[in-house]
Amino acid sequence: MDHSRRGFLRVAGLGAAAGFGGCTGRPGDIAGRESGGDVGESPATTASTQFRGGLRRRGVYPQATVPASVTVDWTVPDVNTGEHTAAKASPVRAPGGDVVVPGDTGQVRRVTPDGEVRWVADTDHSTRGIHGTPAIANGAVYVGAYDGALYAFDIESGERRWRADLADAIGSSPAYHDGTVYIAVEYYDPSGAMYGVDAGTGEVVWDDQRPTDHPHSTCAVDRAAGRLVVGANDGTLYAWRYPDRSFAWTFDTGRAIKGPVATYDGSAFFGSWDGNVYRVALDDGSKEWAFETDGLVMSGPSVEPSTGRVYVGSHDSYLYALDAATGERQWSFDTGGTVLGCPTVTRDHVLVGSYDRHLYALDKETGAGVWNVSADGWVTSTPLVTDDAVYFTARASEAYLEDGDGPTGPLYRLVPDG
């Protein structure tokens, strides 16, 4: 589809209801465009919260610690109720200690550490709601939804500041930098694009229509290397120069790149449905190494500079620890189920969820299991570790999805046991 055709779909909401690669069904119809609002002052250069800890998406929190054992403090129900098997949205910390959690119901909640829901914000309903994780900046929560729109909600009240109607669906997470929100979007055809949107008004300031076949991947921005990178279901990693956003190169894996991309030491790290984890040079897109697993790789790698280690999951049920320089395996842990979501790395542990309906904490040096917590459904969100708790969400239970008589996918808060 050419650029003009995509633009027409963006405005009119037309197009055949073709299935998404790796998905079934059809997202909600485009419902028009709202924009407006004002940051009120010069926009912040960086966000207070980004998915996976920052623009480079490394997923590492060196000062964070988790307890030796945990118990469930409380749950907030009905965060996830849909059957779509993609990784679910993840909770993030809001200024002041609350958490913000989106769900596949299409709602965003702000929840206190006591489990009180301070506000609930609605997107225009679609069949898959929200799967991306928000960025928080300028007193706003920025998040995309499967209705094809990027939203800004007020962090204090939950009121909608603006809605930018960009595409037919958004399954990725936004990146915020210097007043611009970057996000990958999907069209029905299948095809897609990368957008830059003004954080104050919701107006489009940049787009590139090169990515095709539903880019579900979450982009990374590496300012030191001068690159913005994102994957797509066409099996290609796309790179732009940053901050001028001119196109740089592509790297082809031959199978879908669905998970988030991380950057470190002048390289991009990501998984592909060809079963490999890749390290690719950011300057020219050349392959530096590939590590082969026994399954598809949709999990986003966590890259830890202090240890030079990469942690990443696979559909083969394993979480792997790899040497970042060589790609050699250092250890692996079998969770007993597909690992679809991203791991979170703390001072001493790696936390990761599994299709076996558990969240695991592992010793990051040895890969030995430390504790695990059972959930009602598959655990595919990225866990959040705060000073006093661990938060994660789960998919709705199989019983609920089959006949509506079972637990929905809640937000969990874990605290020290005893």
CA gap 204, 191 in Å, rounded: 19
pTM of the model as a whole: 0.91
The superfamily in CATH containing domain 3-64+100-350 is YVTN repeat-like/Quinoprotein amine dehydrogenase (2.130.10.10)
Q: In sequence order, what are the residues at sequence separation of 6 or more whose Cβ sits closer than 8 angstroms to the Cβ of residue 346?
A: 61, 62, 64, 65, 66, 364, 385
Per-residue pLDDT tens over the stretch 84-134: 888 899 999 999 999 999 999 999 999 999 999 999 999 987 678 999 999
Q: Please tell me the predicted confidence (pLDDT) of residue 82.
A: 87
CA gap 173, 261 in Å, rounded: 11
CA 365 to chain centre: 26
Q: Please tell me the predicted confidence (pLDDT) of residue 15.
A: 30
CA gap 275, 268 in Å, rounded: 17
Residue 137 pairs with which residues in a beta bridge? 140
Per-residue pLDDT tens over the stretch 376-415: 999 999 999 999 999 999 998 988 888 888 889 999 999 9
CA gap 310, 328 in Å, rounded: 10
Per-residue pLDDT tens over the stretch 234-264: 999 999 999 999 999 999 999 999 999 999 9
